[in-house]
């Protein structure tokens, strides 16, 4: 099959998406593909989506862009208008509590939310809703259903979301995306991506980017009550994660008997590449 060069990667925050972005950027750069790029700030397309005069013009007037990788909010109609109708849609999700730890650390949320004490994350989890007033001002720092919002769930509907709304939204994303990667199974996700796009194995080799240690947060354990508090607070993200974790393993189970061998070969290539580059 021919390598797919028409891709929209919906880059979600604190999910390992910067590493995936670099994979797409390297692939496009080596093949002289065009990218839909924000004008000015790298976050120009976020959180309001792709709007006129917010992106650089295409290299060839009248010709669609090949790849989208920068942060934006999923808007299928707007994206296909600028790329093409048959664009392949990819995104990535992460276990919500792990994502929260990462966001709390990276965005210094204890300071932003003015939470005192030695365990600010535990304090936050006792009453997550207390900090909801930050959402509309600082969408980058959101702790409530951030992935859902980046995948197009309307912000105004968050305060009155029902089980039916969550179910319909998850089904919509499942229909409209060709692959939803899962950070906790990153290597498996990349092998599925390679197969989906008909790429060479070397195209998915990578170095982790923007990967940080949490320090004390990484070893923090949570009571069942605190976990349940956050599950209720970020119910859509939990529904997305659990659905697409199941979906990923369903795809793997249907991928054929050679999938484990291909995965092992990819991991060997990764290790070999990193060893040779470091040396």
pLDDT digits (tens, 9 = 90+) for 32-47: 999 999 887 777 787 7
Rounded to 5 degrees, φ, ψ at 205 are -65, 145
Three-state secondary-structure class, residue 7: strand
pLDDT band at 219 (very low <50, low <70, confident <90, very high): low
**Domain locations in the chain as residue ranges:** 7-278
Q: Are 147 and 93 in contact (CB under 8 A)?
A: yes
Q: At what angle do helices 96-106 and 224-233 cross, to 10 degrees?
A: 90
**The two three-digit tokens of residue 120, written as one number:** 């600010």
Give this prediction's pTM: 0.93
Per-residue model confidence as pLDDT tens digits over 70-87: 999 999 999 999 998 889
The whole-angstrom separation of Cα 21 and Cα 28 is: 11
For 7-278, give the CATH class: alpha beta
**The two three-digit tokens of residue 248, written as one number:** 């990923």
CB within 8 Å of 68: residues ≥ 6 apart: 7, 8, 9, 35, 36, 79, 82, 83
Three-state secondary-structure class, residue 55: strand
Per-residue model confidence as pLDDT tens digits over 127-176: 998 876 655 555 556 789 999 999 999 887 877 899 999 999 999 999 99
The whole-angstrom separation of Cα 31 and Cα 29 is: 5
């Amino acid at each position: 099959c021919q390598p797919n060069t028409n891709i929209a990667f919906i880059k979600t925050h604190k999910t390992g998406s910067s590493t995936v972005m670099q994979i797409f950027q390297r692939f496009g750069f080596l093949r002289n593909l065009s990218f839909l790029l924000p004008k000015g700030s790298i976050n120009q397309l976020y959180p309001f989506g792709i709007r006129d005069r917010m992106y650089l013009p295409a290299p060839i007037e009248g010709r669609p862009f090949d790849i989208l990788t920068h942060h934006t909010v999923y808007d299928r109609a707007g994206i296909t208008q600028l790329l093409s109708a048959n664009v392949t849609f990819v995104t990535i999700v992460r276990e919500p509590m792990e994502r929260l730890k990462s966001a709390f650390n990276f965005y210094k949320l204890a300071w932003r939310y003015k939470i005192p004490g030695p365990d600010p994350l535990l304090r936050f989890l006792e009453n997550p809703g207390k900090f909801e007033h930050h959402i509309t001002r600082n969408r980058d720092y959101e702790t409530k259903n951030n992935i859902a919002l980046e995948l197009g769930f309307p912000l105004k509907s968050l305060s009155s979301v029902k089980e039916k709304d969550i179910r319909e939204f998850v089904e919509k994303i499942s229909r409209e995306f060709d692959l939803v990667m899962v950070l906790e199974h990153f290597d498996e996700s990349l092998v599925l991506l390679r197969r989906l796009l008909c790429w060479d194995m070397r195209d998915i080799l990578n170095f982790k980017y923007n990967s940080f240690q949490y320090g004390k947060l990484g070893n923090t354990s949570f009571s069942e009550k605190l976990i349940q508090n956050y599950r209720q607070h970020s119910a859509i993200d939990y529904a997305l994660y659990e659905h697409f974790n199941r979906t990923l393993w369903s795809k793997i189970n249907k991928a054929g008997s050679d999938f484990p061998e291909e995965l092992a070969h990819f991991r060997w290539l990764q290790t070999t590449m990193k060893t040779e580059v470091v040396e």
